[in-house]
Amino acid sequence: MKHAYLIMAHGSWRVLEKQLRLLDSGFNDFYIHIDKKAQDVPDIGSWLSKSGVWYTEPMDVKWADYSMVECLLRLIKAAVGRGGYSYFHVISGADMPLKPAEEIYRFFESSGKNFVGFDKGHRVLKSAKYYHPAVEWSCYRRHKLLKGIDRGFEYVQAAVGINRLRREEWEIKHGWNWVSMRPELAQAVLDNEEKLQRIFHKTIAPDEMTVQTVAFNCGFMDELYDLDVQKGGMRRVDWQRGTPYVWGSEPGKTESDFDELMSCSYMFARKFDEAHMEIVEKIYNELSSRGK
């Protein structure tokens, strides 16, 4: 069976091009959402010769908003509806593979597990108890005053005893939204769409809780590759040097970043940016030569 890549993209088109060209193969298809705000969108299909590519209807996706979950659901629906996939890989347009396409395919097929990492004690777990209407505003991400008002509103809700999860039977879990799911877990996410909307609408970063919460509460914990947030998703993300760190962005570190990524055991990495294409080109050239 083939693998479906569910890709959320909004820019950095040159990074996306290298990503897709590396993953282009007869055993991969792409389901892509292009953000409604995106500009100068290229002819993505022209980059591919082996994989199928389909697009979901553009929507205005806002950082840390429930629109991220809605976008994910659209992508899953599109791929599940077409059928014939043994894995659904959720990645962004700012990700890069770290192994040749065939090696990635063989790794997941031989595992048969779900790759959903978990972490503990994250602030968004606490914030899920309260309403955060300001997160729907496009300026929320960079507006410190708005974030401060939102935090104050959270304290007010706590003081008056609001807890939107008080009667909720599900336990909320958190991790990264970039996961690799088997069909059964992908279907479970779709089957619980209404419940997810009720729990996570107007919360902060619900996309980082959606798949983890479904996996935990719907009987998939014994089918996970690993519980660690990074190893569990087989994705290398550096949160020590950034939020997250853009690989190759630190002066003089391109070579060491490249060596770290090429020597690690993970299948994917993020984050990459068009402003730092040298490392992207190095990864592309290395994996292209390996894949021949």
pLDDT digits (tens, 9 = 90+) for 132-158: 998 888 888 778 888 899 989 999 999
Q: Give yes or no for a contact between 7 and 30, defined as CB atoms under 8 angstroms apart.
A: yes
Which amino acid is present at 215?
Answer: A
Region 204-225: mean pLDDT is 97
∠ CA 34-3-276 to the nearest 5 degrees? 50
The tens digit of pLDDT for each residue in 37-68 reads 999 999 999 999 999 999 999 999 998 899 99
The helix-helix angle for 193-200 and 67-82 (nearest 10°) equals 170
The tens digit of pLDDT for each residue in 185-196 reads 999 999 999 999
Residue 123 has pLDDT above 80, yes or no: no
Q: Residue 121: what pLDDT?
A: 67
| Distance from C-alpha of 198 to C-alpha of 100, rounded to nearest angstrom | 40
- Which of the four CATH numbers 3.30.70.20, 3.30.70.1230, 3.20.20.60, 3.90.550.10 does domain 2-121+171-290 have? 3.90.550.10
pLDDT band at 249 (very low <50, low <70, confident <90, very high): very high
Domains of the chain, residue spans: 2-121+171-290, 130-159
The tens digit of pLDDT for each residue in 252-282 reads 999 999 999 999 999 999 999 999 999 999 9
Q: Residue 291: what pLDDT?
A: 66
pLDDT band at 292 (very low <50, low <70, confident <90, very high): low
Residue 175 has pLDDT above 70, yes or no: yes
* Cα–Cα distances in angstroms (integers) from residue 10 to residues 206, 239, 292, in the given order: 19, 22, 30
Q: Residue 183: what pLDDT?
A: 98
Q: Residue 209: what pLDDT?
A: 95
Percent of the chain surpassing pLDDT 70: 99
Residue 127 has pLDDT above 90, yes or no: no
Region 101-111: mean pLDDT is 98
Mean pLDDT of all residues in the chain? Answer: 95
Which amino acid is present at 166?
Answer: R
Q: Residue 122: what pLDDT?
A: 73
DSSP state of 258: H
Residue 160 has pLDDT above 80, yes or no: yes
